[in-house]
Every structure is written in structure tokens, then in C-alpha cells.
Structure 1
Amino acid sequence: MSAPGFWLAEHHRAAAALPGAALPWLATLRRQAIERFADEGWPTTRQENWRHTSLAFMEEYPLGTGAHAPTQAAHASLAALRASDPGAHWLAFVDGRFAPALSAISALPAGARIGSLADALAHEPEAVEAAFGRAGDGDSPAALNAAFAGDGAWIRLARGVAVEPPIHLVFLGGGAAHRHLRNLVVAEAGSQARIVEHYPQGGEAATLTTAVTRIEAGADSRIEHIKLQQEGEQAIHLATIEADQARGAVFASHALSFGARLARTDIRTRLGEGAEVLLNGLYHADGRRHVDHHTHIDHARPRGTSREYYRGLLDGSARGVFAGRIVVAQDAQRTDALQRCDNLLLSPRAEADARPELEIYADDVKCAHGATVGQLDEDALFYLRARGVDAGHARQLLTYAFAAEVLERIAHPPLRALGRAALFARLPDAARLEELS
């Protein structure tokens, strides 16, 4: 049972044991957040922001409790991942708790701090308070996260500091039915980092993950964020990514969603003067799975640039939802914004809802948006068949080519390979495709 009453009882039981429970500001925030969630409940299609994705079924979704302990499966999964990018920094979390024995942080430049949120709450609570967010942020799932989150990643970069190796945040399952992560990134002026937020495939149990990642990108900083979601077939994954970009900051988001029964990711960013953002996304769903991405780009100041490219692969009776809004404020003259969402239906039963929006209050701007929903091109299939490619392999080649454009925007080769391997794991005939990629 996962009704609001369940969560009130869970919060009453667990609040005193959460990291930072003795901090007055955090105790107050958590209490306000759980009260807000109890009042609002799970979102339904009656709410405009959730018109295609209802969480009303969560009232009856069977969630339990479990132990917070690393498992042999967690060790094996992480070992394989670390072999794919051996020079990187690795922070591992099991059931939402930092696992030092599974983590490996190499030498860091002076001024770089990479660790767990729980540790930061103990040693630098004032800095965490400034970055944590508020109980009223986002929709009710974000409030649930604020009520329970006590761990996640804490990344703090001083002015001008560049962390060259990628920072991998790996969130493994170890038995718990629900976990709530909050990742905080504070990047001061001129700093640089590449961050991977990864949810590898877990078991087949009914689980809930809520995750909030907040990024403060200082002036002229450069932050690249890759989110790879591969949770199990009965998992519910509800995530929010928020970025606040100061003057000249460059932020790139690559959102790859390949798992979970229902996955929803909200991405919101606010651009200062001359800031640039790339929102690059790829999702695959089959069976009766449901995947939803909502994005909001706020051009608040002049000369901002945004590029948004989302692509979806939908098979079986799956449903994909994309809603993207770009808002250009009156003062945001000379904004340059482009938004596209393209969906490929691989089954007559699959469904896609795409809703790109522009809201423009300035007059000196260059803005465009568009969306498509279609099937594989019959002429392209005929071309491949005429050259000896069998029908099934021809379909897979065209499907992969449709998706590969998104993956090619990931600049770091090991991370691009990680995304490609995750896609191959969802596609039939992957071995033959891998030979050609």
C-alpha cells in the first residue's frame, strides 16, 4: 500500500534516523514536505502537468521495506561498470545509502569536494542548506523526496576548478522497496565537471525511486550531466533535474530512459545572460511500460541559447510522453532557441504524445519547435532489402540509426559507449548491430 497515510506513517517511523535529523532547518523542511505530500497526494490526469501520466494507481501499489546492505549482485554490477571507465571517480549507493566500500574517488584538484550528502550534512550543513531546495519545489513526488531524502551525492567545485575524469554516481538496489536520493552540485564560476547519474537494472520487485538533482552552475562554468535509467520492469522512477545557470554558464543534459514500469523525469533550467543549454534525450519503452519527460527552459536574460532534441522508440503497447516548454522573458532579447521531439512507433499498439511549446514575450528572438510521430520509412526498408539485408535486421538498423543521433551528442567516448550498450540491451539482434556501430 502506498497511499499518503502510508507515507505519513513511514515518515513518523524513519524521520529521527535520517541523516541531518538534528538540523532544525532540515527537520522543518521535511515536516513541511510530508505534510504537503499528504495534502496533495499522488498526481492524476486532472492536473495539467500530468494530463498523460496518472500516479493514482500508487494508492494501491504494494511497497514494503528492506535492509540497507550491499549485495553480491551489487558488487558484480558495479565491477562491470567500473571496468568500462577505469579512470573515473565512482560513488556507489545501495538502497539510497552511500556505500564507501563500493566507491573509488581518485586524487582531486584543490577546491573539489566529491562525497555523500549525508557526510556533507554532518560537516558543512550551511552549504547544504543553501543548495538543498525547498519543501514547495516541484510537484508532490518532489515533496515526497524532500521529506525522505538524506543521502545522494554532494559535489562542490571552487572557482576555476576542473575535474577532468567523469564523476559516476551509481544507485544500486539491495532489497529496499523505496529509496529517495538528492544530488546537489555547486559549481562556482569557471569550474567544469562531467557527471553521470546511473540507475542500473535491478530485480523484478515493485520498487519506488524518487530522485532530485539540483545544479548551481556559476558564471562561465561548464557542466555536463548524463542520466541513465535502466530500472526493473516493475519499478516506478520519478525524477527531477534542476539547473540554475549564471551568466555564460554552459549546461548539457543527456537523459536516457530505458527501464522501469513507469518513468517520469522533469528537467527545468533557468538561463542567465549569454548562457547555453543542451537538453538531449532518448527513451525506449516496450510491453505496457510508460515513459514521460517534461522539460522547461526559462530564458530569463538576453542572448541565451538553447537546443533541445528528444527521440523516442516505442514498441508493444508502450506509451511515450514528451512535453517541452520554452519561455522567453521580455528582457531576454536575442534569444536563440530550438526544440524538437521525434517518436518512432515500432508497433501498431504503441502510442506517443508530444507537446512542444513556445511562450515568447521578447521581440528580437530566433525560436523554432516541432514534433513528429511516425513509423519506419518503407523506402529505406526497401533499399536495405534490395541489398540483401533481411527484413528483421533492416528494421533494427533503421531503429538504431534513428536513436544513434542522440547518443552521438555525448562527447566523452566511454560515456557514449555506456549509453550505446544500454540501448543495445533493449534491442533485438544487438550483437549484429554492435558489429556495425
Structure 2
Amino acid sequence: MSTLIKQEILGELLNATGKGFEKIRAEGKIAFESQGFPTNKSEEYKFTAMTKKLEQSIQNFGTAAPFEVTAEEVKKHLFAGFTGDVLVFTNGHFQPSVSSEISAIEVSELSRKPDTALGSIAKPEKDPFCAVNQAAFLDGIFISVPKKAVVEKPILLLNLNKANEGQVIQPRTWIEAGDFAEVTFIQHTVNLSDETYFSNRVTEVKGGLNSQIRFYKLQNEGKNTLEVSNTETAIQQDARFTSVTVSLSGEMVRNNLSLNILGSNSEGNMYGIYLLNGSSHVDNHTNVDHTIPHAESNELYKGILADQSRGVFNGKIFVRQDAQKTNAFQQNNNILLSEDAVVNTKPQLEIWADDVKCSHGCTTGQLDEEALFYLQARGIAKDQAKGLLLYAFAGEVLDYITDESFREYCISLVQERLGSKF
């Protein structure tokens, strides 16, 4: 670990105090000090030199303070047709005064919930950035969906960021859904400045028996943004968790998503799309841990890379010895539009059970020239034909978004990027 990062992190971030989190902060600090920041020899960060990028771009590691916004400003950042509830955050800090009052669920600052089992799902020893967050976060948000509650409207987690150059944002979120509960979350971040900052996010999701949780994430931040996002879940019997991640921008972005399948007849779904250009770098690391028989997981990530962009996909599926009758599927497909674009893909299966149905695979290629010629021969301009083919490739992932307004917004962004919008 470099002298710069060690001195600044340990000197300021890891010495955060107050709000009653002393015990878990101490656990995070110990976990971080035992790991350090990942180096180029770290297998998990082999293709994503986040530490080097932080050394180059983040100078003081100061924590970004919250700022005030008005209800009118919040409305400007809602996508057309959205009719759900909104929870607003500025620089990672919850702003209840401009957030919806949602009668069906409980929402509060984490500091008001001292008994929350923070760190029990997103364990700090699993990832150094998760450890940093646990040691250094100031507060966070607690969201609890009661037993049997069906929240029909989606809940938008709207993050408005306006950090100064070189500052750090440390959002912390705890979500729990009771037995037979159903809820949809949309996480969307908007940059209000072009400054370079580091967002280090941790989200823990606990799903009760027969619960249904949908978690959608749109990453369309500034081109100078550095981000690490750890999302860890614990899914119980008969429950279903579905994640869709849409990554469109960011200088260097690392998404760690883990599904811990803890009950039979449960289902975990992970879908993602990354459309990269310029020098953007997006790394998706996924982990599915099957520990119980009769459970299922499905995973599909697709990438389109242009210019000098770089994509990384590393998906791991573990099927433990007792997890018989497991169905687990994983696929990563990529299209490269430039000779300078690079993708590193590594789907993995580790199976200790003998009565399972599992598959994994990956593809990397270019546009089908015959299909492109076919469309041009029918009077479609080359650029539009190219855009249509690319959208046909990528659009499958967006079909897994059930909220119509958010899906249409994502479709519009993707079509605009691909040049397939008429």
C-alpha cells in the first residue's frame, strides 16, 4: 500500500467518531488494516487498478459534507412518468425534509437504529473497500419493509453528489424485507459538478421468507467519477431477489454484487449491461453462494465497448456440498467496436454437489457484418442499422426491469448512446 493512501486514510477516514457506531467501526478498521488497499498483485483487483487511480486523483481523502436541496430541484432529476416515492441523499447523506413520507415502510437514519446488524451481510474482511466504508461512514439509511407488506410503487434512492475535488463519499444502506413482503428499489446517482471524487458505497439487503425484492441501479455519472459499490444480500426460503445494473459512465467503476442463497426454493437473478466509450473502465464482480438444496440463480451481463474503454467481468458461482438440486446459469457476452477496446471476462463455477444443473460461458466479438449488410440492403442507413443491431443485443437486459417509467428512461439512454433512436 502506498505511503500517501496509508497516511491519509488512517489519519482521517479511519478515525471517524460519533453516532454510536464505535464497535463496528473498530471491526472495519481492523479488517482494513489486515488487508490494505489492493495492489496489482491482488487477484480480485487484477484488472482494475483502483488504488493507483486513487493515488493519482484523490489528494486529501476529505469526507464530502451534505448540502441542502429544494423539492423543486429534486423534481428536475426525476425521469418522465415516475410515480413512485423518493428518498433523497446529498453526498451520501439522507435528506428527510425533501424525501417522501412512505407510510408502508419504516425509514430512518442508521444512527437511530443502533441494533441494526451492520456488517453481518457485507462482511468487512471480504473486500478492503467494504472495510473502509465500515470504519469511516458517518451515518446511513435504514429501510424496513414490514411482514406481508406489498409496496406497489417503486422507491427511488436519488443520490445527488456535489463533492469538491478529491473528496470521498461513503453511503451506507441497510434494507430488510419481512416475510411475504414485496418491494422495488431504483438507485440513481446524479452528478451536480464535474469534479473528481471517490464514492465508496455499501448496501446490505436482507430478504425474509417468500419475500420479493427488485433492486435496479443506473450508473450514468460524470466521466471523472471513481466508484466502488458493494451490494451484499441474504435471501431466505422461497424468496426472490432480482438485480439489474445499467452502467453507462464513470472513469473507473467497480461493482461487487453477492447473492447468499440461504433457503430452499429461493431464486437470485443478476442482470447487467455496460455501454462504455472514451476511457471509461467498468468492472463487474459477482458472487452467488448456494448453500441450501433446491434453489436457483440466473445471471446475464452484456457489454458494448468503444474507443479505449475497458470492461471486466468476473462471475463466481459456488454450489456447496449440501446444495443438491441447484440450478445455476451464468453468461457474459461482449461486443467490441474498436481495436483499442478491451474486455477481460472470467466466468467461474465451483461445485461440490453432484446432483445439480449448472452452466456458464462468455463470448467476445464484433458486429455481424452479414446482418449489417442485410439491414442496409433494405434501405436503412449504416449508422442506424448498426444502432439497431447493438440495441437488439443489449436490450434483452432492460426487459428485466419491471417498472415501466424507469425501463423507458433506460431504453432512451441506451438508444441515444447506440444511435438506434429514430
Per the TM superposition, whether the score is higher than 0.5 is yes
Instruction: Select the residue among 23, 26, 37 that pairs with 1:42.
Output: 37
**CA pair 201-69 structure 1, distance change in 2 beyond 3 A:** closer
Could you tell me which amino acid in structure 1 is paired with residue 380 of structure 2?
V
Q: CA deviation at 1:246?
A: 0.7
Q: CA deviation at 1:12?
A: 6.4
Instruction: Select the residue among 258, 262, 268 that pairs with 2:258.
Output: 268
Q: CA deviation at 1:68?
A: 2.5
Q: CA deviation at 1:312?
A: 0.5
Query: 1:18-417 alignment to 2 at 5 Å?
Result: 21-23=18-20, 26-57=21-52, 58-64=54-60, 65=62, 66-70=64-68, 76=73, 78-82=74-78, 84-106=80-102, 108-109=103-104, 112-115=105-108, 119-122=109-112, 124-126=113-115, 128-129=116-117, 136-176=124-164, 177-271=167-261, 272-417=263-408
SS in structure 1 of the partner of residue 307 of structure 2: coil
Give a deviation string over 1:168-200, Cα, whole Å, max 9, x none.
Answer: 101111234211011111111111100111112
SS in structure 1 of the partner of residue 367 of structure 2: coil
Q: CA deviation at 1:345?
A: 0.5
Q: Is the 8 A contact 1:11 1:34 kept in 2?
A: no
Alignment RMSD: 2.2
Q: CA deviation at 1:331?
A: 1.1
Structure with higher helix content? 1
**CA pair 22-354 structure 1, distance change in 2 beyond 3 A:** closer
Q: CA deviation at 1:85?
A: 4.4
Could you tell me which amino acid in structure 1 is paired with residue 270 of structure 2?
L
Q: Distance in 2 between matches of 1:336 and 1:32?
A: 36
**CA pair 67-333 structure 1, distance change in 2 beyond 3 A:** closer
Q: Distance in 2 between matches of 1:130 and 1:50?
A: 25
Q: Distance in 1 between matches of 2:224 and 2:182?
A: 36
Q: Is the 8 A contact 2:287 2:315 kept in 1?
A: yes
Q: Is the 8 A contact 1:213 1:242 kept in 2?
A: yes
Q: Is the 8 A contact 2:155 2:186 kept in 1?
A: yes
Q: Is the 8 A contact 1:53 1:292 kept in 2?
A: yes
Correspondence for 2:9: 7
- Please, what TM-score do these two structures have when normalized by structure 2? 0.92
Following superposition, which runs of at least 4 residues in structure 1 exceed 6 angstroms of deviation? none
Q: Is the 8 A contact 1:222 1:251 kept in 2?
A: yes
My pick for the range that moved more, 304-313 or 167-176, is 167-176
SS in structure 2 of the partner of residue 205 of structure 1: coil
SS in structure 1 of the partner of residue 40 of structure 2: coil
Could you tell me which amino acid in structure 1 is paired with residue 283 of structure 2?
D
Could you tell me which amino acid in structure 2 is paired with residue 400 of structure 1?
Y
Could you tell me which runs of 5 or more consecutive residues in structure 2 were left unpaired when the two chains were aligned.
Answer: none
Equivalences, count: 414
